[in-house]
């Protein structure tokens, strides 16, 4: 069940009306606003109009959306990262990150308050613990905790968890910054691949110094090339640039083929017009000031299987 379905179910239960009635209200609100907001955004407006306040309720991770304030969740810590120190604009401090999960998905939690970070440093909160978070805020689909937030260990037992990121099956016109999405569309344009140099040991970007290339960890190196592939996806509601890095490129074409001009052209001609399911994270391209999707998965649409599913 995706976050929109969870939200509709929660609104219907809280308001004491049928889910179908909530969905009709959402569609009417979208139509009134000329489709300029997503289904999730329209659902939040409907919730407010019905007098439903989520601030005092514990939400599932699958119900979280970008821009939420006073978020309350209970979830299990599944991955804990080392506390980092930073220095930026004359300010020094610490930041801590960990990943939590419940039965609807997982998300990252970012701690900025020294008292919260101390819970990580002294081992009060560790991997495997279930934690209770109050008054968090979602930013790019992460939960950020400030000094006004609360976090503590919970006595809740949580055995059934879903470790994958929450994915929204939506249209491109509904895509928003920070969302993990799965979209069905057609490739309408493929750009020439670009390459950059990386360290052969750690795959981090190599910096050129004179005639040599250096890695911050491994010193002077003989770099190897990694590809970046960009294409445009059209799902009938909008078009959007898709960015694929080396690990994902292998899902559609051998990376070595992109270094051969003839093979790269043949791939481009074959890939244009292909219908695919695309998974990825929506990001803002600051240079062009528009949204794009960083691909995490690509799967060609199997028309025969799709027909079977529709007939079932």
- Model pLDDT for residues 235-258, shown as the tens digit of each residue: 998 999 999 998 889 889 999 999
Q: What pLDDT sits at residue 190?
A: 95
Assess if residue 260 is contained within a domain.
yes
Assess if residue 215 is contained within a domain.
no
Q: Can you tell me the distance from the alpha carbon of 3 to that of 1, in angstroms, rounded to the nearest whole number?
A: 7
Q: What pLDDT sits at residue 154?
A: 93
Assess if residue 218 is contained within a domain.
no
Q: Can you tell me the distance from the alpha carbon of 204 to that of 229, in angstroms, rounded to the nearest whole number?
A: 18
The segments of the chain whose pLDDT lies below 70 read 1-3, 35-36, 55-56, 303-312
Backbone angles phi, psi at 303, to 5 degrees: -60, -40
Length of the chain in residues, anyone? Answer: 312
In a shared domain, residues 116 and 26: no
In a shared domain, residues 144 and 88: yes
Q: Over the range 88-104, which residues count as b (16 or more CB within 10 Å of their CB) and which as e?
A: eeeeeebebbbbbbbeb
CB-CB contact of 189 with 232 (8 Å): yes
In a shared domain, residues 73 and 12: no
In a shared domain, residues 72 and 148: yes
The number of domains in the chain is: 3
**Can you point out the beta strands (E) in 24-90?**
71-80, 84-88
Identify which of 23, 95, 100 has the alpha carbon closest to the alpha carbon of residue 61.
Answer: 100
In a shared domain, residues 84 and 154: yes
In a shared domain, residues 80 and 102: yes
Its pTM stands at: 0.62
Assess if residue 241 is contained within a domain.
yes
Instruction: Show the domain range for 277.
Output: 168-195+226-311
Assess if residue 275 is contained within a domain.
yes
Assess if residue 212 is contained within a domain.
no
Q: How far is CA 280 from the centre of its chain?
A: 7
Q: What pLDDT sits at residue 15?
A: 87
Q: Can you tell me the distance from the alpha carbon of 268 to that of 129, in angstroms, rounded to the nearest whole number?
A: 48
Task: Give the list of residues 6+ apart from residue 286 with CB closer than 8 angstroms, or none.
Answer: none
Q: Is 178 left (phi over 0), alpha (psi -120 to 50) or beta?
A: left
CATH no. for residue 82? 2.40.50.140
In a shared domain, residues 46 and 130: no
In a shared domain, residues 15 and 85: no
In a shared domain, residues 141 and 70: yes
CB-CB contact of 139 with 27 (8 Å): no
In a shared domain, residues 59 and 127: yes
- Model pLDDT for residues 145-165, shown as the tens digit of each residue: 999 999 999 999 998 888 777
Assess if residue 158 is contained within a domain.
yes
Last residue of a domain, one of 127, 151, 166: 166
Q: What pLDDT sits at residue 310?
A: 57
In a shared domain, residues 173 and 63: no
Assess if residue 200 is contained within a domain.
no
Q: What pLDDT sits at residue 139?
A: 83
Q: What is the CA radius of gyration of the chain?
A: 22
In a shared domain, residues 61 and 143: yes
Q: What pLDDT sits at residue 1?
A: 37
Q: Is 273 left (phi over 0), alpha (psi -120 to 50) or beta?
A: left
Instruction: Determine the straight-line distance between the first and last CA of the chain, rounded to whole angstroms.
Output: 20
Identify which of 167, 234, 170, 172 has the alpha carbon closest to the alpha carbon of residue 39.
Answer: 170
């Amino acid at each position: 069940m995706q976050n929109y379905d969870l939200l509709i179910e929660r609104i219907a239960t809280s308001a004491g009306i049928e889910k179908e009635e909530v969905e009709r209200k959402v569609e009417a609100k979208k139509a009134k606003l000329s489709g300029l907001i997503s289904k999730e955004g329209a659902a939040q407006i409907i919730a407010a109009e019905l007098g439903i306040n989520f601030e005092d309720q514990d939400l599932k991770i699958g119900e979280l959306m970008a821009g939420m304030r006073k978020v309350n969740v209970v979830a299990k810590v599944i991955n804990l990262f080392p506390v980092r120190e930073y220095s930026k604009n004359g300010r020094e401090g610490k930041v801590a990150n960990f990943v939590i999960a419940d039965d609807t998905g997982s998300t990252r939690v970012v701690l900025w308050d020294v008292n919260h970070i101390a819970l990580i440093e002294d081992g009060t909160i560790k991997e495997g613990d279930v934690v209770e978070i109050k008054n968090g805020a979602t930013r790019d689909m992460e939960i950020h905790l400030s000094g006004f937030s609360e976090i503590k260990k919970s006595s809740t037992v949580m055995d059934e968890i879903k470790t994958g990121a929450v994915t929204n099956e939506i249209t491109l016109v509904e895509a928003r910054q920070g969302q993990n999405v799965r979209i069905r569309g057609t490739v309408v344009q493929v750009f020439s691949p670009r390459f950059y140099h990386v360290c052969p040991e750690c795959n981090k970007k190599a910096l050129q110094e004179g005639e040599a290339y250096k890695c911050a960890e491994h010193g002077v190196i003989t770099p190897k090339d990694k590809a970046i592939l960009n294409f445009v996806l059209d799902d009938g509601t909008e078009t959007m640039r898709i960015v694929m890095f080396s690990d994902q490129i292998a899902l559609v074409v051998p990376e070595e083929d992109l270094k051969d001009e003839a093979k790269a052209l043949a791939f481009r001609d074959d890939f244009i017009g292909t219908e695919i399911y695309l998974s990825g994270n929506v990001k803002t391209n600051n240079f062009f000031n528009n949204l794009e999707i960083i691909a995490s998965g690509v799967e060609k649409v199997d028309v025969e299987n799709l027909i079977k599913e529709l007939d079932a």
